[in-house]
Amino acid sequence: MKRISCVLIFLILCSMIFGAQTPNQLLFRNIEWGTDATSVASILKDQGFPDPNISDSFLWHDWGSDSLRFNGKDIGISLSYSFDGDFYIAGHEVRNITLIFLYSHGADFVSYDHGKTTFLQARITFDTLDAKIVYDDLLQKLKTLYGNPVKQYQENTFYQLYYAEWNGGNKTGINLQCGLRKDNGTLVYQDVTLYYGKTNDKDLFSMLAAAKESEVLKKQKSNYDGL
């Protein structure tokens, strides 16, 4: 009986220590989603990344589709890292990595402090001479790590698209895209992009937009100018 009690106590302690963690969530370079931009920049600097370009204008990936959207005003910031042939992921040369952060907020206020932003998404663009070969190789490697994609398709219009997506715990995901465009049979554009991020990005953007609107209304209620 005493042995069973000790085992039970051990399991309870383990659940208290590790219960907040989600072992199968999908992370970019093992960085927790929601980490602020200042901390992420410091972590990546320790990993040998160059200094990033910081901007409040950026494109974010509309999760669950192949669309990119331009951010609205005062939504967040991006850290952009450019590489010159000296950085590789899974054996393939990386051209650029862009990290997206949302401003933190409460019900009726928004904080524009970079140290209080929350990590939302990572976009990795590869530099390649044959995008489809790189896509196929990355696809097989991701399948080996995470199993078959929950979503995979190919579109053939004026723009040829290959898309695969994996979901993890805590509303996290990875998706891989390859875009090809030909003009009169000649390849004029090719791109391979790998995304890590929160799959509930639309909900997070909506909550931020609601907080911004409430912040404006609160200021308006206390404004008696001109009356």
pLDDT in tens, 98-147: 999 988 766 565 667 777 889 999 999 999 889 999 999 999 999 999 99
Residue 209: the pLDDT is: 66
- CA 197, 129, 68, 114 torsion-angle sign: positive
The answer, as to whether pTM is greater than 0.85, is no
Residue 215: the pLDDT is: 62
**CB burial class (10 A; 0-12, 13-18, 19+) of residue 66?**
middle
Residue 27: the pLDDT is: 95
Q: Which two tokens stand for residue 87?
A: 């950085």
Question: Which positions of the chain have pLDDT values less than 50?
Answer: 1-23
Q: How far apart are CA 77 and CA 57, in angstroms?
A: 7
CA of 145: how far to CAs of 31, 55, 75, 138, in Å?
A: 18, 33, 33, 11
Q: How far apart are CA 74 and CA 191, in angstroms?
A: 29
Of 217, 218, 213, give the one whose Cα is nearest residue 74: 213
Give the three-state DSSP class for 190: strand
